[in-house]
């Protein structure tokens, strides 16, 4: 990869470390294997756990009530 960019590994590491210092942190968004940030993935896992325990869930909707609810999300 670095050869394609015309730099060696040592230069790439130095560039990375300079950016860490300049930005006072990791210079890119760290993503999980699912393509989400760690915070996003943790939020989804918490919501999933809550749903399994019946917390913060709505009762199922049927018929016209379901259609009215879904229509709220049309753009």
Secondary structure string (H, E, C) spanning the chain: CHHHHCCCHHHHHHHHHHHHHHHCCCCCCCECCCCCEHHHHHHHHHHHHHHHCCCCCCCCCCHHHHHHHHHCCCC
**Are residue 35 and residue 53 in the same domain, yes or no?**
yes
**Are residue 35 and residue 25 in the same domain, yes or no?**
no
**Are residue 19 and residue 38 in the same domain, yes or no?**
no
Domain that holds residue 4: 1-30
**Are residue 5 and residue 39 in the same domain, yes or no?**
no
Predicted confidence (pLDDT) per residue in 25-59, tens digit = 999 988 999 999 999 999 999 999 999 999 988 88
**Are residue 25 and residue 45 in the same domain, yes or no?**
no
Contact 44, 36 (CB under 8 A): yes
- Measured between alpha carbons, how far is 2 from 72 in angstroms, rounded to an integer? 49
Tokens 């999980």 — which residue? Answer: 32
**Are residue 51 and residue 70 in the same domain, yes or no?**
yes
* Report field, pTM of the whole predicted structure over 0.85: no
**Are residue 42 and residue 61 in the same domain, yes or no?**
yes
Predicted confidence (pLDDT) per residue in 8-17, tens digit = 999 999 999 9
pLDDT given at position 31: 92
């Amino acid at each position: 990869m670095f050869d394609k960019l015309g730099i060696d590994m040592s230069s790439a590491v130095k560039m990375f470390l300079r950016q860490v210092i300049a930005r006072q942190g990791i210079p890119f968004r760290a993503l999980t294997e699912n393509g989400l940030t760690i915070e996003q993935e943790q939020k989804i896992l918490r919501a999933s756990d809550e749903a399994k325990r019946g917390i913060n869930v709505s009762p199922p909707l049927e018929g016209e009530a379901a259609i009215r609810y879904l229509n709220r999300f049309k753009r």
